[in-house]
Structure 1
């Protein structure tokens, strides 16, 4: 199958492209600027430039498109999340519309996209795909991010595609890598447990995200599917454990009211309001299993602090 990966230089794209090549697909990466590809070839276009994108997709002539379009800063500020995600929000809406129109004109028969498995309305237990998204009392800074995700899912549904909702993404190049922003804050003792640390985190290793995308290419599942590991953990449990793996200071504990002054409403919600997700649909309908069933296994497998590529830790 000829597969176009839009966002081939991102955290997931860098794991996906060589995997697709290894299992026999003909891969073309789409990037805004030309970079050496790990496998396959590359076409360049800005997804917000409709005409240039149409030419690039026509040149690739794919059977399937994987939409991983993002422009997330290395260290987004929770107080200014709407600002820091503005470019990504445009890619998930305008860029996605341009991509799918170009794909339809090129005769694409399968569309896959990257979504989020931690945008569910807070509630008890793990969320399945029928659980509502966080549209009630949405934190102000998160509201435009969620609106863009909803539009992405709508556009993907109209294209007859599937959105894979990934959990907290870790692995090389992520915020949890040795040189990642989250890891740096924990190492420096600057990331406290806010309130009760009640958020439930469902993690996804970038390699597991890639294998799920490969599995979904030849399946007939449409709509949405959570792609997360089997071992949710609360923020209050995860932060101290992660700090120990880094030989970092134990995180302090800060009341939510005090933390709100520093990180805003979204920062507090991130620490206390997130709901974990279940992966039953992906297991049953995609015949997919996470290689790293637990975040503890995935972080340890990196053989370096933060579970990333030890070569990047130098």
Structure 2
């Protein structure tokens, strides 16, 4: 198949592109600037500069690639900063636009080019208490009222999911990424004592190694999956359990503890909510319907492997 990966130079795209190539697919991957064109070519893709917020740029790139499948991996987010940037609206601004305007541009271009299937990045990190988190199957649409993600971020995710589902595609709700390219900042923040435990660390997170996320995406592409899938590992865990373990794995001191009231003043409600109220996610649907098998079923061994 001819596969068009929008946002192929991102941390997940850099794992997904060579996997697609290895499986015999012809891949066109995009980046926002010329600096990463050689990187994408080195991964085996036809590399293209594309501005996801420019409808004409998207239309031209998709039309030239003539893909069978479009994979939407466009964001402007870095790796997880454990809520340290959650208070700044600018942290989400461009990603919000890519998940709304960018999604619309990409779907319109895909439709014009006769593309039969779309797979898009969504996010499982905002599952909230009212949703039941990992105890319940995927729900459509995302529950904005119970989400622990910032409202504007949750709204943009919901837009992506609704638009892709209406087009008959698949939305993949990835857990928190770790692995090469995604763990370095986590390790640095822990070593610099900038990744604190908030409150009792009772929020439950679901993690996913980039390799497993890429394999799930490959399966969604090849099976032409439809609907919403949680792409997370087998072991949702409270912050109070995984955060000290992650610090130990990177050779850092145990994380500092900050009471919720102080963290709310310093980092805002979102950081407190994510660290104290998140519920994690369940991967049963992806396993059953995609035939997905995890190489890193638990963050416990995964953290060690990724940070070795």
The TM-score with structure 2 as length reference comes to 0.92
Aligned to 2:60: 55
Aligned to 2:169: 161
| Alignment match of 1:107 (pick from 95, 111, 114) | 114
Q: In structure 2, how many angstroms separate the alpha carbons of the residues matched to 1:221 and 1:53?
A: 23
Deviates more, 1:45-54 or 1:15-24: 45-54
| Alignment match of 2:279 (pick from 275, 282, 288) | 275
Aligned to 1:18: 18
Aligned to 2:223: 219
Q: In structure 2, how many angstroms separate the alpha carbons of the residues matched to 1:229 and 1:137?
A: 22
Deviates more, 1:217-226 or 1:63-72: 217-226
RMSD across aligned C-alpha pairs, in angstroms? 1.8
After superposing on structure 2, the runs of 4+ consecutive aligned residues of structure 1 that deviate more than 6 Å are none
Aligned to 1:150: 158
CA gap 1:212/1:97 in 2 versus in 1, 3 angstroms? same
| Alignment match of 1:133 (pick from 131, 142, 149) | 142
The 8 Å contact of residues 120 and 132 in structure 1, kept in 2 or not, is answered as no
The 8 Å contact of residues 118 and 274 in structure 1, kept in 2 or not, is answered as yes
CA gap 1:207/1:265 in 2 versus in 1, 3 angstroms? same
Count of residue pairs brought into register by the alignment:
299
| Alignment match of 1:68 (pick from 63, 69, 73) | 73
Q: Tell me how far 1:13 sits from its aligned partner.
A: 0.2
Summarize the alignment of residues 188-227 of structure 1 with structure 2, pairs less than 5 Å apart.
Answer: 188-227=192-231
- Any gaps of 5 or more consecutive residues in structure 2? none
CA gap 1:292/1:79 in 2 versus in 1, 3 angstroms? closer
Aligned to 1:312: none
Q: Tell me how far 1:132 sits from its aligned partner.
A: 6.9
Aligned to 1:118: 125
Q: In structure 2, how many angstroms separate the alpha carbons of the residues matched to 1:231 and 1:165?
A: 16
Aligned to 1:285: 289
Q: In structure 1, how many angstroms separate the alpha carbons of the residues matched to 2:147 and 2:117?
A: 32
The 8 Å contact of residues 196 and 272 in structure 1, kept in 2 or not, is answered as yes
The 8 Å contact of residues 78 and 266 in structure 1, kept in 2 or not, is answered as no
CA gap 1:212/1:192 in 2 versus in 1, 3 angstroms? same
Q: Tell me how far 1:138 sits from its aligned partner.
A: 5.6
- Any gaps of 5 or more consecutive residues in structure 1? 305-314
